[in-house]
Amino acid sequence: MALSTLEISELRGAKNLLENPGLAAKISNFVGTPIEKGLKSLPESWTTAVNDVARKSIETALDIALLTMDKDERVSPSNWWHKLAVAATGAGGGAFGLPALAIELPVSTTIMLRSIADIARSEGEDLHCPDARLQCVQVLALGGKSKKDDATESGYFAARAALAKSISEAAAHVTKKGMSQHGAPAIVRLISQVASRFSIVVSEKAAAQAVPVVGAFGGAAINTLFIDHFQDMGRGHFIVRRLERLHGQDEVRRIYDTL
């Protein structure tokens, strides 16, 4: 069945969210200087540190954020409540600078993942289904483009393709043994892949918060941009998935590429 005019409009809106300028551009507009300068000022050891913090944040958030999110009727997600909570954690992180990232990021990531799950539910996802839950985690990988991505593909579909096998294997494991066994190879592999992309965006956030003049107010504002970015990724992703359930992946992808 062909997509309706309304559905094509929804898909266009999803593509605008998914392929728009990333967090670095948004932060650069807020700070007033290109974020690349801040990234260059970070010590080399921070790349490894940020990767570790990103991975641990996803592990911490995975169960906590999704345990209380039950299947419900399609309702509007509580985006503003989640933004206020993340802004509060960002204020603390901004006040104490980079060392606070290891404490602040797991909390922010948990709130963001719950917000993403809220968005998923509003787009008709059944959060009792392991695949739907893991799709929420995958959203954290949609905000940072990897150097390994195929340049001929959109950033969104390149990220999905790169994670497809890991999502499938992790979903099969969760179906059999539950969400809690993070030590399982399928879960570890998925978390590592998501963290490698998520850490790109986390590095941009950390670089902005490292600017001396940012402080608590700036930390709150940057964290608001941070969650807003991933809420956009989540909204776009789950609109695409809703349309794929109705019309099939090939048809949605074909039209997506023409928009």
- Write down the pLDDT at residue 95: 44
- Write down the pLDDT at residue 151: 46
Q: Which pLDDT tens digit goes with each residue over 157-189?
A: 989 999 999 999 988 988 887 665 556 888 889
Q: Are 120 and 238 in contact (CB under 8 A)?
A: yes
CA pair distance 67, 133, nearest whole angstrom: 10
Buried b (16+ CB within 10 A) or exposed e, 192-208: ebbbbbbbbbbbbbbbb
CA pair distance 24, 36, nearest whole angstrom: 8
**Residue linked to tokens 């059999």:** 176
Residue count of the chain: 259
State whether residue 190 is helix, strand or coil.
Answer: helix
- Write down the pLDDT at residue 22: 76
In terms of pLDDT, which residue wins out, 203 or 38?
Answer: 203
Task: Select, from the ranges 75-89, 172-186, 202-216, 240-254, the one with the highest average predicted confidence (pLDDT).
Answer: 240-254
CA pair distance 137, 116, nearest whole angstrom: 8
Please tell me the least confidently modeled range out of 18-27, 159-168, 190-199, 243-252.
18-27
- Annotated domain spans of the chain: 20-69+76-234
